[in-house]
Chain A
Amino acid sequence: MFLPVLIYVLIVYYWPMLGVRYAFYDYTLKKIEFVGLKHFTKMFSDADFWKAFINTLELSIIKLLITTGTAVIVSVFINEMANLFAKKVLQTVIYLPHFMSWTVTAAIFTLFLSTSSTGFVNETLKNWGWIKESIDFMHETALWRPVYYLVNIWKETGWGTVIFLATLSGINPELYEAADIDGATRLQKIWYVTVPELLNTIIIVLILNLAKVLNLFESVFVMYNNRVFEVSDVISTYIYRKTFMTAIPNYGYSTAVGLFKSIVGCALVLICNRASKKVRGHGII
């Protein structure tokens, strides 16, 4: 019964792994030739590669911290809501954006932020007299990242609350009773009971997601453009451009970059697995 799964996994996952050998070859449409570590030397001396690498780390780590932070705050508010109906409705609403694709999200915000006469944000700001000229949010190097983070907050905060709310629903009510007896106010109860109970979950969420920081791709891929490469190019988009946007692609070079990413990613997963075992007694994998 396992046979279909076995064959499938072999073809789709393990066969490509054999392909990493091309990292040591020149692989173009014309020839395949062994070149040793040439691609790696080229890669490590390419400023664009390092920029992409640093961008990947910066974008995913800041994004992770911000969305986790907002998710924690929103969860605490949801947890404090006594009206069960309001709670349920808000949860339903805020989970919604998570199920929309990155393409849809990017399309919505591109249209809202556009400089055309139907651009929601620009025209509204002009109407209020806050700005004179339209701002090209998506094409401005200084603004692309803030926009990217805000879109991420909009899309992923709600979904991020799922795990925190699960933890909050498991807090022993006696803790709150004890706090009541000690005369604690609402805010004190939040600060001294709810937040400490969440700490462990926050650490776990951070660890789990740190393991995946290098995988950043689709969200950037749909939102970036030529004019903001400097602040938005990440490893995966770098590989994509070097392969599919180049006249004569060298598959060897892009495989080498991919291999580097896989190895660093693998190390990250193992480190995070270790950390996870320490924090909660069992690993990620």
Chain B
Amino acid sequence: MAKRVEFAAGRKKKTDAFDIVNYIVFILIGLIVLVPIWKVVVDSFNAVGVYKFQLFPNEPTLDGYRTIIHTSKLYQPFVNSVVTTILGTLLGLVMSTLGGYVLSQYDMPGRNALAYFLLFTMIFSGGMIPEYLVMKQLGLVNKMWILVVKHGMNVYNLVLMRNFFEGIPGSLFEAAKIDGCSPMGIFFRIVLPLSKAALASIGLMFAVTVWNDYSTVQIYITNRDQVNFQYILRVMVMDGDTPTTAYKVSQSTLYYSAIVCAILPFMLLYPFLQKYFVKGVNVGAVKE
């Protein structure tokens, strides 16, 4: 990468027409992505709904957010989202590190059988309805824990984790073994500390999946105490089913504030953790 970059920088001494076009294209693409997001943020602070794009709210207010914080039908789903996301991420990480570590042991008998056992689930699935019936038998219908259970395991992420573990030099394990470290000790003292970056990116992938899930909630949960924030957002904006609140707030302010709340956690983390967000896909993409 570095070599190519230096070369690219050295290659273009003068700015030609193409560079100017390129800058214009860059700005256009950036605006196409950012203008909608900026409008959402601005309008969430705007007391009166306007159709125009404004750089800053002309009648600034926090009523939208105040309404969400004080209306239990709106903040309860937010809390549910936070709780399920944290638990789902933790469970997902535990499952993919355990499974990935076992699959990375080349000399283990039955390793291939285990791999096929896992990979088969990527090709064939029971489908929406059999899954629903099983979850019903497990008593998870109408419980927000369904989100944790459903996303607590992801074979693709497990394979990514295994690929990462396979990249750790084997001599480290041998040295530890010679020093009398048990297999469990190797896992906790050597493998996990070395895997912080992989844990961060795969953890983020789990977190994004659980937080953003809407269809699972729509399928499994009818009880309004158990839904997550994505569900409430969809019900409000698309079905026009706004919960009654004690606050006087314009509809559009409330809607846009809800959208901001639904993207807030990741927007806050994104600038700092961007490399981890992107790394996950590159582990899979640049493997060869």
Contact = CB atoms under 8 A, between A and B. Distances in A.
Q: Do A and B bind each other?
A: yes
B123 A173 contact: no
A186 B11 CA distance: 11
Q: Which of A158, A166, A280 lies at the interface centre, i.e. has the most chain B CB atoms within 10 A of its CB?
A: A166
A163 B285 contact: yes
Contact of B278 (A82, A95, A180, A251): A95
Contacts of B131: 16, 19
A261 interface: yes
For chain B, give the interface size range: 35 or more
B209 to A, nearest CB: 10
Contact of B125 (A13, A22, A270): A13
B268 to A, nearest CB: 12
A240 B270 contact: no
Nearest to B114: A2
Contacts, number: 253
A248 B131 CA distance: 19
B234 A107 contact: yes
Interface string A52-87: 000000000000000000000010010011101010
Contacts of A35: none
A285 B119 contact: yes
Contacts of B8: 82, 173
Interface string B90-121: 00001100110110000000000010011101
B144 interface: no
Main secondary structure of the interface of A (DSSP, over half): helix
* Chain B interface, >50% SS class: helix
Interface of A: 1-2, 4-6, 8-9, 11-20, 22, 74, 77, 80-82, 84, 86, 89-90, 92-97, 99-104, 106-112, 117-120, 122-124, 154, 158-159, 162-163, 166, 169-171, 173, 176, 180, 186-187, 217-218, 221-222, 225, 236, 239-240, 243-244, 251, 254-255, 258-259, 261-262, 265-266, 269-270, 280-282, 285
4 A-B pairs with the lowest CB-CB distances in the bound complex, closest first: A19-B130, A258-B127, A16-B126, A101-B212
Given A12-B134, A99-B277, 11 more contacts: A9-B121, A13-B121, A16-B125, A82-B8, A86-B23, A89-B30, A101-B263, A107-B255, A166-B285, A240-B128, A270-B123
